[in-house]
Amino acid sequence: MSKESIPLTYRVVMTIAAPIVRWWGRLEVVGAQVLPTSGPAVLIANHDSAWDPLVVGVAAMPRRQVRALAKASLWRAPPLAWVLDRMGQIPIDRGRFDTQALSVAIEALQAGACVGIFPEGTVSRGMPLRPLSGAGRLALSAPGARVVGVSVSGAVDVVRFPKRPRIRVEFFEPADGPPRPGESAVGLTRRTMAEVRARAPFAVPGRQRKAAEFQRLAAEAELARQLP
């Protein structure tokens, strides 16, 4: 099967981002061969930095265009919306079950696209988040779709100049394989995300002052979880 055609706008954006991610970020990509060059694929990734979608996109080039589900608020700015639409990105309203976004993603997946999703729903800010079932729903909607776990580490350091990041992206097949007969969407999502987080523990984003605030909030949340 031949490689898919990647839109020009997508290529241009990834080319602009590449020096930051590959050179400044000293990007290391592991397991690129796991990512199929064509056919339906669901990428399930952690989300600790606003840079994660670009980092995964750059790491996947030139093998695949990643059609990521991204927060709908990004489409409020018309110029950015124009770019995102031509990159093939999919807007999703966070905090509720967005059936329209899921339908668009399923349609793209069934047409042979590579769809990326961050099941934790938002940037973690160093706090453990419960993954939602959307990733599993996508995978189960297209029998034969390749499920690929994606761990991203080091992207939180992109903005911490002059500290230079060391970004690592690993593509891997879940240890328990593709969806099992009778497996639920949430079960598939959680077992894949458990493997992702084993490779990329929760990390605090932001520069010094903001990172310190996030660390304090994460510590308070952890203490609250431990209280009877």
Buried b (16+ CB within 10 A) or exposed e, 132-146: bbbbbbbbbbbeebb
Q: Which residue has the tokens 């031949």?
A: 2
Higher-scoring residue by pLDDT: 204, 219: 204
> What is d(CA 55, CA 34) in angstroms, rounded to the nearest whole number?
17
> What is d(CA 111, CA 108) in angstroms, rounded to the nearest whole number?
5
Q: What is the pLDDT of residues 60-94, one digit of tens each?
A: 998 999 999 999 999 999 999 999 999 999 999 87
CB atoms near residue 125 (< 10 Å): 23
Q: Please report, for the chain, the start and end positions of each structural domain, with discontinuous segments joined by +.
A: 8-226
Q: What pLDDT score was predicted for residue 178?
A: 87
Output the CA torsion sign for 146, 25, 73, 203: positive
Token couple for 178: 């593709």
> What is d(CA 135, CA 115) in angstroms, rounded to the nearest whole number?
9
DSSP state of 7: P
Question: What mean pLDDT is predicted for residues 133-148?
Answer: 90
Token couple for 181: 């007969």
Q: What is the pLDDT of residues 90-122, one digit of tens each?
A: 999 876 678 899 999 999 999 999 999 999 888
Phi/psi for 117 (5° steps) reads -145, 145
Output the CA torsion sign for 105, 109, 111, 113: positive
Strands (DSSP E) contained in 72-211 are 90-92, 114-117, 146-153, 168-172
CB atoms near residue 55 (< 10 Å): 28
15 Cα distance to chain centroid: 19
Q: Which residue has the tokens 């995300």?
A: 193
Length of the chain: 228
